[in-house]
Amino acid sequence: MSQPVSPSVEEQQFLALVQQAIETQNFERMVFSQFQGEQEPPEKVSLRMIQLQNEPALSCLYRYKTRDVTKNHPLAEAELQIAELLAQCRQANLLTRDQDIQLKKNKKKAMLSHSKIKTSSQAAPIQQHDREKKRYVDQHSPFLYDLGVTDAGQQVIPAMARKWKQINKFIEIFSGALQQIPQPDNGLRVVDFGSGKGYLTFALYDYLAKQHQLPFVTGVELSEKMVAFCQQVAMDNQFTQLDFFQGDVRTYQPEHLDVMIALHACDVATDFAIHSGIRLNASMIMCAPCCHKELRPQLKSPKVLQPMLQFGIHAGQQAEMLTDTLRALLLKAYGYDTRVFEFVSLEHTSKNKMILATRNQHAVVPDPAVLAQIQALKDMYGIQRHSLELLLNHQWDQQNVGLKC
């Protein structure tokens, strides 16, 4: 068994600087990377200070290729934990309020460097522009770092640039629609079906909280690991009214909701989500449909369209457009003002269509004229089965329909 190697002079200096930053409350974040070891090492470990039961603590986020693990340590254990991580990695970065201190190691030597964080007035206009452009989501919010959107310096990670744009566009759309619905006195209840890693769920909760709303937000997700991860991030950020449920749209049955969200719910999972929103009289329904599979096998080309739909890509696009048209028309028939539009540019995601519906309090439900339009489209394409229509008519036959991609 190999003996532990004593820390080098540079490592000792680095640890002393870390301790000083903590004691003077100048500590911002730390990042350890380039780990070595026989077992699966993390890609990086990020550290920040948090409050647990009104006591300072060290939160360590271990990022592996397939999962993230968060461990919290009392401040009394911080020095030992940091020393152990430093011994296992080749690079460590300490970010204080005014410095970025880096330690790089190889087999022969260690190098310690300091660089001041720029705070010049010349950079101020750029920062102001960024704040104005991204006014709906604060780039410096700690939850973005916990979710891997920003780095230790609170800058958007290049690989997450597209996700960052999606988050901001989603909140922008939501904020506009929010003004069109009544605001309940007992807090806005939001359910996000298929919440995944929670990027949009957290951003939505944070936005509502900063608007002095009293949000009750639930993310519904099939993956048990994702749910556990999101619950931990919610707790670390003291998002007390945000929780996550392990299951799908059929297993989570709320008694009430004001806003129903289903972004990239696979195939008929979108139909189940829309049905839940209509059934519970949601004031707002937001969907970005995904994997349009149900209508494609049923599609019969009208004679005049057969030359066009003989090509598979065109038939697929037609099935997608028909599916979302029927969904939008059913929402209209059941009392919703409905729009279908591009969510974000195709360069950011191929699933870029948004169905946004807000309840019209004065609508007659269901509207027979819109139902006639739906029937005419079904007849034209030979459609016999559409899950949302069957659910609304209480005719869905409970056959085994998968809700996961």
Contact between residue 338 and residue 328 where contact means Cβ atoms under 8 Å apart: yes
- My answer on whether 257 and 312 are in the same domain is yes
**Residue 237: what are its φ and ψ, rounded to 5°?**
-95, 5
Residue range(s) defining the domain that contains residue 235: 160-392
Residue 290, SS3?
strand
382, 248: one domain: yes
The CATH number that applies at residue 264 is 3.40.50.150
Final residue in a domain of this structure, among 55, 89, 118: 118
45 in the same domain as 179? no
Residue 88, C-beta contacts closer than 8 angstroms, at least 6 positions apart: 32, 35, 36, 37, 41
Contact between 47 and 56 under an 8 Å Cβ cutoff? The reply is: no
Q: Which two tokens stand for residue 223?
A: 């993956």
Distance, in Å, from the CA atom of 54 to the CA atom of 238, rounded to the nearest integer, reads 11
Position 206 scores a pLDDT of 93
Q: What is the pLDDT of residue 361?
A: 74
Query: Is the same domain home to 188 and 66?
Result: no
**What is the model's pLDDT at position 4?**
54
Residue 66 covered by a domain: yes
Q: Could you tell me if 28 and 176 lie in one domain?
A: no
* 123-158 pLDDT per residue, tens: 333 333 343 454 589 888 999 999 999 988 888 998
Q: How many domains does the chain have?
A: 2
Same domain, 248 and 375: yes
- CB within 8 Å of 43: residues ≥ 6 apart: 33, 35, 63, 64, 65
- Asked if the structure places residue 3 within a domain, the reply is no
Pairing state between β 242-246 and 216-221:
parallel
Let me know whether 43 and 169 are in one domain: no
Q: What angle do CA 197, 200, 206 make, to 5 degrees?
A: 110
Residues of the chain with pLDDT under 70: 1-5, 38, 117-135, 344-351, 395-405
Shared domain for 112 and 187, answered yes or no, is: no
Parallel, antiparallel, or unpaired for β 27-35 and 110-116? unpaired
Query: What is each CA distance from 160 to 64, 163, 197, 288, 359, in whole angstroms?
Result: 16, 5, 13, 19, 34
Can you give the pLDDT at residue 5? 64
Whether 290 maps to a domain, the answer reads yes
Is 170 a domain residue?
Answer: yes
Distance, in Å, from the CA atom of 102 to the CA atom of 112, rounded to the nearest integer, reads: 6
> Crossing angle for the helix pair 312-333 and 368-381, nearest 10 degrees?
160
